[in-house]
Amino acid sequence: MTATDQLLFRGADWDFPALQRVHDACEGIALKELGLNVYPNQIEVITAEQMLDAYSSVGMPLYYKHWSFGKHFAYQEASYRKGLMGLAYEIVINSSPCISYLMEENTATMQTLVIAHAAFGHNHFFKNNYLFRQWTDADGILDYLEFAKSYVTQCEERHGRQAVEQTLDAAHALMSHGIDRYPGKKKLDLRAEEKRAGKRRMHEEGTFNDLWRTVPSGPAKSDVLLNVGRRQNLLGLPQENLLYFLEKTAPRLAPWQRELLRIVRHIAQYFYPQSQTKVMNEGTATYVHYRIMNRLHEQGRISDGNFLEFLQSHTNVVFQPDFDNPHYSGFNPYALGFAMMQDIERIVTCPDEEDREWFPDIAGTGDAMAVLRSVWTDYRDESFISQFLSPRLMRHFRMFHLHDDPAESAGILVDAIHDERGYRRLRRELARQYDVGFIDANIEVVDVDLAGDRRLMLRHVVLKGAQLSEVDARRVLQHLADLWSYDVSLVEVDASGTVLKEHVANPRKLAAAA
């Protein structure tokens, strides 16, 4: 067999047998040489328009209907048509089988890159990382989305589009606070979900009796029942999952509204690990595609020209602009992730003195893939950076830490730079930037005034003086009050317990209420 016969493809054109050959070649390297463990793959070829469609439904192949997705579509289409935005080469979905969407206009090299990147890199990460294993059910997600879609449609037929839209609007506003941050969650099960929804409806229909309305309410509840401790215990307070709290306890929601809140909450939970592992996820995928592509080239299965094409787009992907570059918009997760993965490989295989001092556990152990696989399994961005960002990389990126205190009129303080004194502080601060505990506002339901006007009380613990932005907070609280059906108040307190501000919202009359 001559060398040219081994080529997976020639030139820029690809066809379906070529995709199959590329996949098989990548699979050989990924499973045998890198030791990856992946879900079965499904590759779907789509057009640019379909890619735009996928964008507007957060990449999922099916989703319930809502105007806000149309809005995002309109926005993205506008920027795409104007040339402000390129489209991704692929979208990959954390499901089993793992679905990767490839754009039809990618060249053969790009398809190879994308298959290595998504169908093996991301796929391995989805299947193995502890956050994904804990929070998402890859086998069930597509079925659940199907259920959600048809349930929302049913609700619209049954209760009117406007009522459903109002409930979903409100739920979306609270989506970022509809997440359980600690485990204890049951797995999603399509059949059980459907059965529950059906049972609720049956119960509602079966027990409906108009006479019940005239039954007088019992004597006033005793004080004992309503004391703070018991009340908090009863309602599971304090509760930071606002959507869960509303679903379970909001007094005047209809059952179908509770189900909608539940759907939004489950979907938010499904995406929760992705937001915590951007750097690691992209770093893993980029590292994997880089290894696979290099290996394919070594084996003579990709021509030199095509390999150069790959190197060019790879370099673009892992480019990190400096802070003063007009293109700068934060750390590029591909660049940081890929650099850290390569750095770990270097530390494991040929460490220097500094590495031995900083990473005694892994320096020089020799098997880079074993170390990387365990890193990919057991860490998220925050812990990954705080443990594996090496001084060498901090010097490479020339990182520095700015501390901006508005009270300080002189200006912004350069608190640490990439030197001996600054490494640990830099690393701690950068890790914090990826810590969800710091990214999302810490808002909890603390109490409900059951004896009085049923006011729902929330508390925002202000960190580093960052209060909620007024307008948005008012709008979100309005949605919250609409769901709760009584007044809602939110106090912002600092760490010492001093009240900084109070927001109050009164419920509007919803189309669906009563």
Partner 1 sequence: MTLHIVDRRLNPGSKSLENRQRFLRRAKALVQGAVKKSSQDRNVKDVLEGGEVSIPVEGMDEPRFRRDGGTRDMVLPGNKKFIEGDILPRSGQTGGRAGGPGEGDSQDAFRFVLSRDEFVDLFLDDLELPDLAKRKLAEVESEGIRRAGYTTSGSPANISVSRTVARAMARRVALRRPRPEELAALEAEMATCDEVRRVELLAEIAALKSKMHRIPFIDPIDIRYRRFEAVPKPVAQAVMFCLMDVSGSMNEHMKDLAKRFYMLLYVFLKRRYRHVEIVFIRHTDRAEEVDEDTFFHGPASGGTLVSSALQAMHDIVRSRFRPADWNIYAAQASDGDNSHADGEVAGRLLTEMILPASQFFAYLEVGQDGGMMYDMPNSSLWTLYERLRANGAPLSMRKVRERSEIFPVFHDLFQRRGQQERAAP
**Window 108 to 147, contacts with partner 1 (CB under 8 A):** none
Comparing CB distances to partner 1, the nearer of 170 and 341 is 170
Considering only residues 153 through 172, tell me which ones interact with partner 1, judged by CB under 8 A.
165, 169, 172
CA distances from 302 to 100, 290, 294, 355, 512 (A): 22, 13, 9, 35, 60
Comparing CB distances to partner 1, the nearer of 307 and 400 is 400
Burial of 90 (0-12, 13-18, 19+ CB in 10 A): buried
Quick check: 43 binds partner 1 (CB under 8 A)? yes
DSSP code for 219: S
Quick check: 101 binds partner 1 (CB under 8 A)? yes
Query: Which among 443, 440, 437, 472 has a CA at the least distance from the CA of 460?
Result: 443
Quick check: 497 binds partner 1 (CB under 8 A)? no
Buried/exposed 30-42: b ≥16 CB within 10 Å, e otherwise: beeebebebbebe
For the chain, how many residues are written?
514
Instruction: List 504's β-bridge partners, or say none.
Output: 489
Comparing CB distances to partner 1, the nearer of 130 and 400 is 400
Quick check: 466 binds partner 1 (CB under 8 A)? yes
For residue 311, give both structure tokens: 């190197």
Comparing CB distances to partner 1, the nearer of 312 and 433 is 433
Q: How far apart are CA 36 and CA 121, in angstroms?
A: 8
Comparing CB distances to partner 1, the nearer of 188 and 261 is 261
Considering only residues 309 through 348, tell me which ones interact with partner 1, judged by CB under 8 A.
320-326, 328-331
Q: How far apart are CA 439 and CA 291, in angstroms?
A: 33
Q: How far apart are CA 311 and CA 306, in angstroms?
A: 9
| Interacting residues of 181 by C-beta distance below 8 A, sequence separation 6+ | 240, 436
Q: How far apart are CA 261 and CA 248, in angstroms?
A: 10
Comparing CB distances to partner 1, the nearer of 52 and 363 is 52
- Hey, is 244 helix, strand or coil? helix
Instruction: List 499's β-bridge partners, or say none.
Output: 493
Binding residue (CB under 8 A) for partner 1 from 33, 104, 298, 367:
104
Quote the least distance from Cβ 400 to partner 1, whole Å: 4
Binding residue (CB under 8 A) for partner 1 from 70, 160, 366, 437:
70
Considering only residues 429 through 448, tell me which ones interact with partner 1, judged by CB under 8 A.
429-430, 432-433, 440-441, 443
Quote the least distance from Cβ 201 to partner 1, whole Å: 25
Quote the least distance from Cβ 420 to partner 1, whole Å: 11
Considering only residues 413 through 432, tell me which ones interact with partner 1, judged by CB under 8 A.
413-419, 421-422, 426, 429-430, 432
Binding residue (CB under 8 A) for partner 1 from 9, 34, 66, 295:
66
Comparing CB distances to partner 1, the nearer of 336 and 372 is 336
Quick check: 149 binds partner 1 (CB under 8 A)? no
